[in-house]
Chain A
Amino acid sequence: MRPFDSGHEDLIHDVAYDFYGRHVASCSSDQHIKVFRLEKETGEWQLSDSWRGHDSSIVSLDWASPEYGRIIASASYDKTIRLWEENPDEKEGLGRRWTKLATLNDSKGSLYDVKFAPSHLGLKLAAIGNDGVLRVYDALEPSDLRSWTMTSEISVLPIAPASHLQSDFCLSWCPSRFSTEKLAVSVLDQALIYQREKDNQLHVVAKLEGHGGLIRSVSWAPSIGRWYQLVATGCKDGKVRIFKLTERADPKSNNTSGSVIDEEANDNESINGGSNNSQEQSSGPFSSQSPLQVELISEHDDHDGEVWSVSWNLTGTILSSAGDDGKVRLWRATYSNEFKCMSVISAHQQAPRV
């Protein structure tokens, strides 16, 4: 597979795949967003469109679920989140194919991360920046994507960090359809798990402990086929950590396991998205009051330096970590539930062989 020139003229900060992996969007300090399309025949990426999205560096972007159309959210150091919708009637390559739907400018500081919630929670996104505030926005009327309402505003950090100090902020939603609305938020060296409780507010239900430096990346694994959740973090202290989050059963429940899950599944299926999920989901055996047990199941320092990014594959069976050593490591759980490095991708030029 051949590398290609992104066309960006400054640092690339983020890339994001669309739901089916056929498009990829990138953003940069050059204030531009670019969308590339995968050519089926050649397997190569072609630039679909490029446009100036913000008035400062664009540091994060994400695609909404195709249930809501073709929408991208971007977050910038200009303190705004912008939402973009593709207009298929516009030609590619002219910079007009993506039209701005909305600008969300509540942040008091530079934004660092923006992520759409999984589709079953409705059209919703969360963002965090260096004002230390987590904000959640909902498009309460999905047929009108220009109208977004801030439904949660939580100070994760009591005081915003000093601007001259290095900082980092990340977030990742729990993608599981059969779990209460949750998201992992990292601010500086703290990682917290928020969950929507019966009062329809997000509350901290767990902490991912043990980080010895800025958390550079956090990624919540799809928990398909698994009863527990996995969250990975990449840290400045050089470690990739994998946390196992288990929602313990309510001992008072008389249900057998099978019927419990059926009930859980049915509960979810009766929900037509929206923010009232937690109300109905809490009727399952793992109510929002159930303790969320956190266990550090894996810790690796193979990168010999800062870990810059972690990400899970579609099914949550493979974790990637990329580090300062110029290597990408791919981790996979064994039958005995240990994560082992299955392969390494090196960004180094290979020394010519003698």
Chain B
Amino acid sequence: MMTAEMFSDTQNLLMDVDAMDFVVEESTGDAHSEDQNETSDYDEIVDRDYKSGAPVMSLSKNDAPLSTSSKGKLKYQLGPISSQNMAYLEASNQYQLFPVKLARVDTSEEYVHYVSKLFEIYRDLGYDRLYSVPTVGVVNITASKEHAAAVNLAASALVTELDFFIEAIKSKKNALTRFFELEECLTILKCLQTIHFTLDTPEDVSVRETFIRNLINWINRSDGEPNEEYIEQVFVPMTDGKKVFESSYFWKLFNQLLLRGLFDQAIGCLDRSQVMVYLGDQCEVSSNALQDLVALLKQYPMDSTDSFREWKSLVLELAQTYSGSETSITGELRDYIEDTLFLVGGHQSKILHYSSTWYESFCAFLLYYIPSLELSEEYLQLSLQNRPVDVTSGWEQTCVDLIRGKIYSILPVLESLDTCSAAFTAALCEAKGLLERFVDDMEMDKEVSYEGIDDLFSYRNGMACYMLNNFAFELCSQGDKRLWPIAIGLITLSPVSSTSAKKMAIAELLPHYPFKTNDDIEWMLSILAKWKLPQIAKAVYVTLGNKLLYESNTIEAMANFSKAGKFEWVKRYSWIMFEASVMQGAPLDDVVLNAIVDDKGNSIIPDEILTSLVTSAMKQTLSPYAVLYRFYQAQNSNNWSEALALLLGLIEFPYLPKCYLVMLMARFLYPIYLEDDSRYVDESTILRIMESLENKWDNKDVKSVNIYLTMLEEGIVKQNTLPTDLTNFLQLIRQKLNFKLCQEFM
């Protein structure tokens, strides 16, 4: 079975490509088919859609519901999280649900890390995120140089991070498709970096070295040729007794390594072939020429173009001297040595002759002819005439395009491989001024039309902006809260002139943030505060309140409703708690609630926490419960007169709902103070109770009736001692109050 682990030795540029058993895309899905139990992290492409050319994934590897080519009433629902969507068939005997992940949704830890790193790179660019050509005022020359240096550095960092990311996932199971896509992406980015993000770095003494290394790195990473197996075959002894270096294969290999700038490997091949030993005995001139070549290759000038000129003149001198010299060897071997010397001297036809791909000759021209990007178009044309683009390889055409400066066309290709890399690459290209904007001025002058102006996705904002915002939205759909700050950061930093467009987008997006901890909530609210979105903050508080209610955390829920301005809700839950407490005839078993209403303070919960929790609205709405709580305390300490005063306070409370008067009467006043004829109640209290009854008691009030019946049915009050309806209960109360009044006069 083939795995990505085979790519372990990336330090060795001679990758063993053949041994990797490259498979066509269709079969990648089978790579791990033995391991059915393992959750697939990445897509498994089973086909290409004949209509659109888009990749086709299977609904289920083993349990797809439809037989090949059959029809069915298939339905599909996209979910709020891109990794969770649902398909089903509306058909008899098809009662399965099929969870489906969107294509190219990477939920791995490594991806989160990669996205974070790229965002940091982009964020840290600061003002260099924007490209501007100063045309008025004092034009600061150094500013543009510094800008180029900053953006080039960011591009280099991006490529490095992608390299790390690939390194991190290459050994993962089921990541093969993803691995190849990222490798392709890396090849394109390395080319982009080499061509557009290297040579204009100012005041960098090693700029040429960086360019050459990037160039060599790009083409060698792209295809891993020549592979080890091929090299080994070249060194297999000949059956006809010829030596290795007498075969054309050896010199083709040697020259290929030189074309690709693999100097050490080329010298290694030379040593292994023992051609030097042979020539030392046979031909001193040839031996010296090759020794000189090796010495020159070891000193290939990386530092400056001046030293390259000197080096090249030495190579040309060597080639011409050898060409005009008499040698002891004749025939093919001499021709091979001569070819190699001319190839290293930058001879156009020799370079083209020994190149098996357009990029080998392109690289060789830059290494040995004239190392200038100004000639890149010419080099490319020559190379492509000699070796056209391999259309089966995705990155080759993309690299050709970007060498020609067609940056726009490469971005969709990158996006199809990895949206994260594509978005940040687009941003860096924008920052570098590689993406020109074509805005139709005529269209701008049209009559008042708001279309597109305040749109995050308007073409007027440029392609980079479009891709960054698209990527930000994609992150918001991943259901991973760690990606949200990056998404919001991207929207904030994206080069859209209108802040209101950003504000509106954040207002719509942020309520979907999958908060879990208090820190998450704090972060969400801080973003809303920063963007001055108080209404959204209120909606968040309400959502939070409902979530807390669901977790039976009523007090915190009320605090959130209160912050949301939902005072009716705060009031409602305060009364619900009041009712529950009256029903059970004791304080509720809620430490927080009782700590709030306890005057004496509560050692369990510090005062400062209570102060921060309890809003002024809650203080007001919880006051009836606070009085009730004190009533229980007085009752427990047999302080009956204080308990009665507190109960009277509740009964007389002007905002007490009617139904609760019935409840207080049935639960406390009647059984404690009225039923027992010997319990003393003073005249003024009796009169005040009577007045409350007069004002509030309503025999026809549905809620009052319901609450009274519930109390009777659930045995909260004694059924035998109280009448079955409110009218009679009121009569009984009046009767008892009259009796108490008489007692007072007697």
B56 close to A20 (CB less than 8 A) = no
- Give Cα A344 to B55, complex, Å: 6
B99 contacts which chain A residues (CB < 8 A)?
1-4, 45
B80 close to A344 (CB less than 8 A) = no
Q: Mark B511-553, 1 if CB is under 8 A from A, else 0.
A: 1101000000000000000000111101100110011011110
- Report if B724 contacts A (CB, 8 A): no
Least Cβ–Cβ distance between A328 and chain B, in angstroms: 4
Number of interface residues of B (CB under 8 A): 114
Considering only residues 207-221 of chain B, those with a C-beta below 8 Å from chain A are: none
B103 close to A342 (CB less than 8 A) = yes
Considering only residues 431-479 of chain B, those with a C-beta below 8 Å from chain A are: 447-459, 463, 466-467, 469-470, 473-474, 476-477, 479
| Contact A345:B57 (CB < 8 A) given known A143-B569, A315-B476 | yes
- Report if A222 contacts B (CB, 8 A): yes
Which of B47, B533, B542 touches A269 (beta carbons < 8 Å)?
A: B533
| Contact A320:B501 (CB < 8 A) given known A45-B97, A347-B59 | no
- Report if B236 contacts A (CB, 8 A): no
- Report if A119 contacts B (CB, 8 A): yes
| Contact A302:B51 (CB < 8 A) given known A2-B60, A120-B539 | yes
Least Cβ–Cβ distance between B103 and chain A, in angstroms: 4
A222 contacts which chain B residues (CB < 8 A)?
508
Which of A88, A258, A345 touches B100 (beta carbons < 8 Å)?
A: A345
- Report if B735 contacts A (CB, 8 A): no
- Give Cα A36 to B91, complex, Å: 20
**At the interface with chain B, which of A181-189, A198-206, A247-255?**
A247-255
| Contact A226:B49 (CB < 8 A) given known A15-B86, A69-B549, A347-B89 | no
**At the interface with chain A, which of B66-74, B136-144, B147-155, B324-332?**
B66-74
- Give Cα A344 to B48, complex, Å: 8
A347 close to B87 (CB less than 8 A) = yes
B39 contacts which chain A residues (CB < 8 A)?
1, 43
B498 close to A258 (CB less than 8 A) = yes
A324 close to B507 (CB less than 8 A) = no
A251 contacts which chain B residues (CB < 8 A)?
447-448
- Report if B504 contacts A (CB, 8 A): yes
- Give Cα A334 to B453, complex, Å: 18
A100 contacts which chain B residues (CB < 8 A)?
none
Which of B55, B96, B473, B511 touches A225 (beta carbons < 8 Å)?
A: B473
A12 close to B103 (CB less than 8 A) = no
B72 contacts which chain A residues (CB < 8 A)?
324, 326, 347
A353 close to B52 (CB less than 8 A) = no
A308 close to B448 (CB less than 8 A) = no
Which of B46, B88, B104, B509 touches A224 (beta carbons < 8 Å)?
A: B509
Closest to A251 in B: B448
B74 close to A323 (CB less than 8 A) = yes
A15 close to B77 (CB less than 8 A) = yes
Least Cβ–Cβ distance between B531 and chain A, in angstroms: 10
A344 close to B56 (CB less than 8 A) = yes
- Give Cα A70 to B545, complex, Å: 12
- Report if A31 contacts B (CB, 8 A): no
| Contact A350:B501 (CB < 8 A) given known A8-B95, A70-B550, A88-B552 | no
| Contact A9:B103 (CB < 8 A) given known A16-B77, A349-B64 | no
Which of B40, B80, B551 touches A1 (beta carbons < 8 Å)?
A: B40
- Report if A346 contacts B (CB, 8 A): yes
| Contact A309:B565 (CB < 8 A) given known A20-B514, A269-B533, A324-B72 | no
Least Cβ–Cβ distance between B466 and chain A, in angstroms: 5
B55 contacts which chain A residues (CB < 8 A)?
343-344
| Contact A315:B56 (CB < 8 A) given known A11-B92, A260-B450 | no
- Give Cα A313 to B64, complex, Å: 23
- Report if A164 contacts B (CB, 8 A): no
Least Cβ–Cβ distance between B573 and chain A, in angstroms: 9
Considering only residues 60-112 of chain B, those with a C-beta below 8 Å from chain A are: 60, 63-82, 84-92, 94-104
Which of A5, A265, A348 touches B95 (beta carbons < 8 Å)?
A: A5
| Contact A351:B92 (CB < 8 A) given known A88-B552, A258-B454 | no
B500 close to A348 (CB less than 8 A) = no
- Report if A318 contacts B (CB, 8 A): yes
Q: Mark B400-432, 1 if CB is under 8 A from A, else 0.
A: 000000000001100000000000000000000
Closest to B494 in A: A225
- Give Cα A250 to B84, complex, Å: 41
- Give Cα A220 to B372, complex, Å: 54
- Give Cα A262 to B78, complex, Å: 31
Interface residues of chain B: helix, strand, loop or mixed (majority): mixed
Q: Mark B28-53, 1 if CB is under 8 A from A, else 0.
A: 00100000000110000011010110
A308 contacts which chain B residues (CB < 8 A)?
73-75, 90
B547 contacts which chain A residues (CB < 8 A)?
66
Considering only residues 544-593 of chain B, those with a C-beta below 8 Å from chain A are: 546-547, 549-552, 565, 568-569, 572
A65 contacts which chain B residues (CB < 8 A)?
543
B71 close to A311 (CB less than 8 A) = no
Q: Mark B635-650, 1 if CB is under 8 A from A, else 0.
A: 0000000000000000
Least Cβ–Cβ distance between B418 and chain A, in angstroms: 14
Closest to A176 in B: B508
B451 close to A227 (CB less than 8 A) = yes
- Report if B133 contacts A (CB, 8 A): no
B452 close to A350 (CB less than 8 A) = no
| Contact A346:B58 (CB < 8 A) given known A313-B78, A324-B72 | yes
A178 close to B97 (CB less than 8 A) = no
B85 close to A320 (CB less than 8 A) = yes
Least Cβ–Cβ distance between B386 and chain A, in angstroms: 34
Q: Mark A256-278, 1 if CB is under 8 A from B, else 0.
A: 01101110010011111000000
A225 close to B77 (CB less than 8 A) = no
Q: Mark A282-319, 1 if CB is under 8 A from B, else 0.
A: 00010000000000000000100100110111110110
| Contact A224:B473 (CB < 8 A) given known A249-B448, A268-B535, A340-B52 | yes
Closest to A319 in B: B78
Considering only residues 164-198 of chain A, those with a C-beta below 8 Å from chain B are: 176-178
A311 close to B54 (CB less than 8 A) = no
B504 close to A178 (CB less than 8 A) = yes
B447 close to A302 (CB less than 8 A) = no
| Contact A24:B552 (CB < 8 A) given known A326-B70, A342-B103 | no
Which of A6, A119, A228 touches B97 (beta carbons < 8 Å)?
A: A6
- Give Cα A320 to B159, complex, Å: 33
A351 close to B68 (CB less than 8 A) = yes
Considering only residues 34-67 of chain A, those with a C-beta below 8 Å from chain B are: 36, 38, 43, 45, 65-67
Closest to A253 in B: B448
B49 contacts which chain A residues (CB < 8 A)?
302, 327, 329, 341, 344
Max chain A Cβ within 10 angstroms of own Cβ: one of B39, B85, B470: B85
A340 contacts which chain B residues (CB < 8 A)?
52, 54
B550 close to A69 (CB less than 8 A) = yes
A346 close to B102 (CB less than 8 A) = no
- Report if B12 contacts A (CB, 8 A): no
Least Cβ–Cβ distance between A8 and chain B, in angstroms: 5
- Give Cα A265 to B504, complex, Å: 7
- Report if B274 contacts A (CB, 8 A): no
- Report if A21 contacts B (CB, 8 A): yes
| Contact A261:B498 (CB < 8 A) given known A19-B512, A21-B479, A349-B67 | yes
B→A interface (CB under 8 Å): 26-27, 30, 39-40, 46-47, 49, 51-52, 54-60, 63-82, 84-92, 94-104, 411-412, 447-459, 463, 466-467, 469-470, 473-474, 476-477, 479, 491, 498-501, 503-505, 507-509, 511-512, 514, 533-536, 538-539, 542-543, 546-547, 549-552, 565, 568-569, 572
Would you list 5 pairs from A and B whose C-beta atoms are within 8 A, ordered by A residue?
A20-B479, A21-B479, A68-B546, A344-B55, A350-B46
Knowing that A17-B86, A26-B88, A228-B455 touch, tell me 18 more A-B residue pairs with CB under 8 angstroms. A1-B98, A4-B97, A6-B96, A9-B95, A10-B92, A12-B88, A20-B512, A24-B86, A66-B543, A177-B504, A225-B457, A258-B498, A311-B78, A313-B80, A322-B74, A329-B54, A347-B98, A350-B64
* Nearest 4 CB-CB pairings of A with B: A225-B456, A21-B80, A261-B500, A341-B52
